[in-house]
Structure 1
Amino acid sequence: MPKYRGTGFEEFYADPPMTPDEAKEERENIYSPMIPFPERIEACIQRFRARRRITGADATKDFNYYLFLGGVDTNPRMFGGNLESELKDMTPEERRTATATDTIYSSGGGSKFYNADDAEGWDVDFAGIVAGFCSAYLPSMTNWDYARMGKAIGIVENFLTYVLQHDVCPEYEDDVKEAVGVCHRANVELPVAHQALLHLPGPFNRALSQLFCEGQDWEESDPDSVVTLGVTVKMLMDGASDEAIVAKVDGLVNKTAKLIETEDCGMEVVAIHRATGISRQIAQTWTVQDRKIGALGRLDMKPYVIEDGHDRGDDAEGGGGGDSGEVTTFLVDDDALRRLQVGFKLQLRVGRLDNGMSFIQQVDAVHVEWYTFLPQSLMAHYKEPVANDRPAPTVASPGDGTDAMDKSDVALSDD
């Protein structure tokens, strides 16, 4: 009989049924409510690792980082090697514990991980950890590799399902189920956010940047640059009857409008007004250099501070921005609007004209509505400070101070 039993992540995989003794062992000794939660979840992670085969360096790295965001140390234990002869004499449970690398510290462990003796600032938040992992980590670390992102999300969802099936922490059951829901949303909305990033700022806003922003490097062969010639036509949109918009359009057509400032900022989508059927029909009747000109819609956004670990001072007060921010309306190609959702967060550069019109010069990032920044991510490369007898840098020795010591020793010896 073949010994290969799969990875545990196959589509229709199901854990084998437990014996009555195994079920009793889990219920009374491993996941008993009388046992502190950190000990239960540590045992759960170790047993999950033993029952699943996470294949591939990227998949292992991603799952380890998910656990790290939750305060779990996944680094191999120092001097934790075991001889094969020693493992043979152990029970399966003892062998699992001896070879496990996932640790939740009850004491010690430093500042990088959760420590039960110093738990201030830590909360049990399954949904929050998954949201931060999927929205902030996966897009940047996978470079929007859909296959890798899907596999990482699948592993996390499989783990959460394992937590529910084995009744590891019934007191947090609703939170775990919410985290599973975040996984489902991530599979759908992360690719949508990426497609929005690829289609923004769109030909129309690029044309405005070319008209009003100096120092733009535009290739003459760039097909989007022909949109500049069709600015007037593109304004024949569903908002053309709006006198305020018409006045701003006149400034663009007559080139009387002037750029007064550009600003790098974060904004949140509050409303999306897609182009109407009439505006699409008008746009389809016009071509510039044999190129169709798409219809325009309106995008309403308000200021939003996208947390990323940088100290923004007073700008970060009031959370992400709340409802106090003034709403700004942008004219955006309908092809890009259909890829946006209300609540999406954009990190962008905005140009403002003296006629009151604003346009999107460039978009650096598009985040989903439930984007979550986890401060624990700042500890990824943290190392505990250690005592150092080396002298501090000085004016005479800006390196590490050792040169100054050498010179003083020479001076003393000369005397």
Structure 2
Amino acid sequence: MAATTEPATVPEEHPDAPEIRRQVEYYFSDENLPIDLHLLQCCGGRENQPVSISRICGFKKMRGFKPKSMVPAALRKSAFLVVSEDGKQVSRKVALRGPCALDPDYFKDDEIAYDPRARVPAVQPVPLLPQTKAEYPEGKSKNMMKPTGFEHTYVEPPITPDEAQEEDAMYDPDKHFVERIEIAIQRFKQKRRMHEQYSNIFNKWMRFGGVDSAPRMSSFFPAHYGFNPHQIKTACQVLRSFYNYLIYHSVCPEYRDDLDKARKLCDTAEIELSKSYNAGLALPGAFNTAASTIFGGSKAGTYTGNVEWAIKLKEEGVDLQETSSKPCSTKAVKVLRDESFSLEVVTISPSDQLTREMYARQNGFTASKLQLQPLGTLVCRSFYLDDFNEYDLPKNKYSNGRLSKSEDGKQYEFWIEDRVLEECFVGMKLDARILTLAGGITILDDVREAMCSFYKWLPNELWMHRHPKEVVIRKKDLDEESEADVEDGEGGESKFADDESVYGE
């Protein structure tokens, strides 16, 4: 049985197709195009670049032809025009010849100068208009690309005398600081485009502790929002923009010095937050990792076992059992102290030329097995970080409310690879574990967190994670004696809750 073929369906033509062709042909005609400056900016004049059909459908006399999707089919039957394959652009079959309004000397012609349609000369040079839609980054729209007020170069606009008088009344120094800052926060949010990322940062900052807490977010923000350089720059710019707003509008002139310091810390944070993250990834380095494995530190026992890619490493003595069976093991060199506390980088000393030459000679003998990196020194001092982690220790044994540790300011010197030292900077804070070996050698066993130089722990961080609630005592849970005792106490009645208030009955 022969297969039957269905006839191809012919697309339906627009009922006003002749009028559409006539109107568009007039737009591109030799009579109109040379003086139509807007259309010349679209097609480039004699360059005859294709023009967006969607743009042409927006012209006054083309708006009545609906639907727009049928306009390209109507223009394809024109003997004067050419429509692109995708049906989105149209151009002349024969390019324009002769002078046009894009030419600098076009309006100098006496015959054209007095043409009523060409009275106003074009401003040269005439820019061409794009015929394709603007492409925006993923997740962005046209409105989201508009200025937000958080740009680095943004400047507060000038205010009128009436607005200045109104602000003087709102931010009167005789008013309480809390009242003034609340007004400033609301007006600041009204005058900025608070996209989601800016709103998230600003709201978290307000919750963290107020306008004077921003420089101390050096631990909370990176730990919860990551170390992406763009995110760090955005966060710092939000804080910096708010500080500029407070200074410009004289919200709290008594804190001007503190605001200036906070703005400088925002500049420092943009640099140090990224560097501290890179340093945290690089530390403690290969040398200290190997020492930690051998001497029973935090890296001990992390051997990969019989994983396929690690089988050959056994021959090099990576297995913990193999290292501990050698003469130079933990039995020969003992660990005298195992401590964990905060460190501050004091000095960074890369390896000297003699050390690098020695390592180069050594690597020449073991080129087929491993390449050792030259070691420099990282000098740190210990300091106590009052983070309330040990607040509940018995006072009779620990009068300061903390475990007895090394004296503050004690210096430690660590051997670390040069490439790791490049990521460190003076003043960087570390939360580290240290092994002190017999002979005075110190091993940087583990670095839990690397922080910027202005890091300081605030009790505000407790509020970001915990929301303690008031203990409510229900009367039905107490006997008569306990109820009487509580009621006799000061403020006891405020602690009671009826069953209805608890269960919502």
* TM-score normalized by the length of structure 1: 0.66
Q: CA deviation at 1:290?
A: 5.1
Report what 2:354 is aligned to. 278
Q: CA deviation at 1:254?
A: 11
Q: CA deviation at 1:258?
A: 2.5
Residue deviations 1:47-84, cap 9 Å, x none? 0000012212x43232212112335xxxxxxxxxxxxx
Report what 2:371 is aligned to. 292
Which whole-Å CA distance do the structure 2 matches of 1:44 and 1:363 have between them? 41
Report what 1:160 is aligned to. 243
Q: CA deviation at 1:173?
A: 0.7
Report what 2:382 is aligned to. 303
Report what 1:365 is aligned to. 449
Report what 1:47 is aligned to. 187
Relative to structure 1, the CA distance from residue 307 to residue 60 in structure 2 (aligned partners, 3 Å threshold; closer, same or farther) is: farther
**Percent same amino acid at aligned positions?**
28
Which whole-Å CA distance do the structure 1 matches of 2:154 and 2:341 have between them? 46
Extract unaligned runs of 5+ from structure 1.
72-124, 231-250, 393-415
SS of residue paired to 1:183: helix
Which whole-Å CA distance do the structure 1 matches of 2:338 and 2:406 have between them? 23
Relative to structure 1, the CA distance from residue 323 to residue 217 in structure 2 (aligned partners, 3 Å threshold; closer, same or farther) is: closer
Letter of the structure 2 residue corresponding to residue 356 of structure 1: G
Structure 1 residue 36 corresponds to structure 2 residue 176: yes
Residue deviations 1:279-308, cap 9 Å, x none? 223323333445432111122222222333
SS of residue paired to 1:201: coil
Higher radius of gyration, 1 or 2: 2
Letter of the structure 2 residue corresponding to residue 367 of structure 1: M
Q: CA deviation at 1:157?
A: 0.7
Relative to structure 1, the CA distance from residue 153 to residue 315 in structure 2 (aligned partners, 3 Å threshold; closer, same or farther) is: farther
Report what 1:239 is aligned to. none
Residue deviations 1:179-211, cap 9 Å, x none? 000000000111111111111010111111222
Relative to structure 1, the CA distance from residue 370 to residue 13 in structure 2 (aligned partners, 3 Å threshold; closer, same or farther) is: closer
Q: CA deviation at 1:322?
A: 11
SS of residue paired to 1:285: helix
Whether the 8 Å CA contact 2:384–2:408 is kept in 1: the answer is: no
Whether the 8 Å CA contact 2:295–2:329 is kept in 1: the answer is: no
Structure 1 residue 195 corresponds to structure 2 residue 278: yes
Relative to structure 1, the CA distance from residue 179 to residue 347 in structure 2 (aligned partners, 3 Å threshold; closer, same or farther) is: same
Residue deviations 1:182-241, cap 9 Å, x none? 000000111111111111010111111222227421337579x89x889xxxxxxxxxxx
Q: CA RMSD in A?
A: 3.2
Aligned partner (choices 256, 262, 267) of residue 338 of structure 2: 262
Relative to structure 1, the CA distance from residue 315 to residue 373 in structure 2 (aligned partners, 3 Å threshold; closer, same or farther) is: farther
Letter of the structure 1 residue corresponding to residue 388 of structure 2: G
Relative to structure 1, the CA distance from residue 338 to residue 310 in structure 2 (aligned partners, 3 Å threshold; closer, same or farther) is: same
Map 1:311-322 to 2 at 5 A.
311=390, 314=398
Map 1:124-139 to 2 at 5 A.
126=212, 129-133=213-217, 135-139=218-222
Letter of the structure 1 residue corresponding to residue 376 of structure 2: G
Relative to structure 1, the CA distance from residue 370 to residue 258 in structure 2 (aligned partners, 3 Å threshold; closer, same or farther) is: same
Which whole-Å CA distance do the structure 2 matches of 1:254 and 1:15 have between them? 65
Q: CA deviation at 1:252?
A: 6.1
Residue deviations 1:238-285, cap 9 Å, x none? xxxxxxxxxxxxx96998313344322222222222211222233233
SS of residue paired to 2:261: helix
Structure 1 residue 17 corresponds to structure 2 residue 102: no
SS of residue paired to 1:67: helix
SS of residue paired to 1:346: strand
Letter of the structure 1 residue corresponding to residue 304 of structure 2: E
SS of residue paired to 1:286: helix
Report what 2:264 is aligned to. 181
Which whole-Å CA distance do the structure 1 matches of 2:173 and 2:158 have between them? 22
Letter of the structure 1 residue corresponding to residue 303 of structure 2: W
Structure 1 residue 211 corresponds to structure 2 residue 294: yes
Which whole-Å CA distance do the structure 1 matches of 2:147 and 2:406 have between them? 48
Which whole-Å CA distance do the structure 2 matches of 1:308 and 1:130 have between them? 18
Letter of the structure 2 residue corresponding to residue 371 of structure 1: Y
Extract unaligned runs of 5+ from structure 2.
1-141, 319-326, 479-505
Which whole-Å CA distance do the structure 2 matches of 1:298 and 1:49 have between them? 48
* TM-score normalized by the length of structure 2: 0.55
Relative to structure 1, the CA distance from residue 222 to residue 330 in structure 2 (aligned partners, 3 Å threshold; closer, same or farther) is: farther
Letter of the structure 2 residue corresponding to residue 54 of structure 1: M
Matched residue count: 309
Relative to structure 1, the CA distance from residue 354 to residue 306 in structure 2 (aligned partners, 3 Å threshold; closer, same or farther) is: same
